[in-house]
Amino acid sequence: MGKGARFPPVPLGPLRVLDGLVRLGTAGAGELAEALGVSTAAVRGHLNSLLRSELVEVAFRRSGAAGPRERVWRATPSGLSQARPRRSSYLLSAFLLAMKAGLGMGGLAELLSEAARQLARTHPVFGGASFPERVHHLRDLLDELGVATRHWEEGEIQKLLLKNYLLTPEFSRYPETYAFHRALAEEVLGVEVEIELAADPRQGGCVLRFRKPAPTSGLTGSKTSKDKT
Structurally, the chain folds into a number of domains equal to 2
Between the CA atoms of 18, 19, 24 and 27, what dihedral angle is there, to the nearest 10 degrees?
-20
Summarised one tens digit per residue, pLDDT across range 35-64 is 888 899 999 999 999 999 889 999 999 876
187 domain-assigned = yes
58 with 169, same domain? no
Q: Which of 53, 86, 119 is the last residue of a domain?
A: 86
More confident residue, 130 or 218: 130
Kindly indicate the confidence band of residue 162, based on its pLDDT and cuts at 50, 70 and 90.
confident
CATH of the domain at 183: 3.30.1380
82 domain-assigned = yes
Query: Residue 75 contacts by C-beta under 8 Å, 6 or more apart in sequence?
Result: 18, 21, 22, 55, 56, 83
Summarised one tens digit per residue, pLDDT across range 175-214 is 777 889 999 999 999 999 999 876 665 556 689 999 988 7
Residue 58: half-sphere exposure toward Cβ, Cα within 13 Å: 9
Residue-wise DSSP of 24-75? HSEEEHHHHHHHHTS-HHHHHHHHHHHHHTTSEEEEEEE--SSSSPEEEEEE
pLDDT, residue 220, reads: 42
98 domain-assigned = no
| Burial class, 72, CB count within 10 angstroms (exposed 0-12 / middle 13-18 / buried 19+) | middle
| Burial class, 67, CB count within 10 angstroms (exposed 0-12 / middle 13-18 / buried 19+) | exposed
Kindly indicate the confidence band of residue 66, based on its pLDDT and cuts at 50, 70 and 90.
low
> How many other C-beta atoms can be found within 10 angstroms of the C-beta atom of residue 78?
13
118 with 211, same domain? yes
Helices 131-144 and 179-189, packing angle to 10 deg: 140
Query: Residue 4 contacts by C-beta under 8 Å, 6 or more apart in sequence?
Result: none
pLDDT, residue 37, reads: 87
Q: How far apart are the C-alpha atoms of 176 and 108, rounded to whole Å?
A: 8
C-alpha triplet 25, 29, 33: angle, nearest 5°: 90
205 domain-assigned = yes
pLDDT, residue 199, reads: 66
95 domain-assigned = no
pLDDT, residue 81, reads: 73
CATH of the domain at 60: 1.10.10.10
pLDDT, residue 97, reads: 87
Q: What is the average per-residue pLDDT within 118-141?
A: 92
Range of the domain at 39: 3-86
Q: Are 76 and 54 in contact (CB under 8 A)?
A: yes
71 with 138, same domain? no
92 domain-assigned = no
121 with 148, same domain? yes
> How many other C-beta atoms can be found within 10 angstroms of the C-beta atom of residue 226?
11
97 domain-assigned = no
Q: Which of 27, 52, 86 is the last residue of a domain?
A: 86
Summarised one tens digit per residue, pLDDT across range 82-126 is 776 655 667 777 888 899 899 998 999 999 999 999 999 999 998
209 with 146, same domain? yes
pLDDT, residue 197, reads: 79
64 with 109, same domain? no
pLDDT, residue 86, reads: 57
Kindly indicate the confidence band of residue 11, based on its pLDDT and cuts at 50, 70 and 90.
low
| Residue 225 in this model has a pLDDT that exceeds 80 | no
134 with 75, same domain? no
Strand residues in the chain grouped as ranges (E):
26-28, 56-62, 70-75, 149-154, 157-162, 193-197, 206-211, 225-228
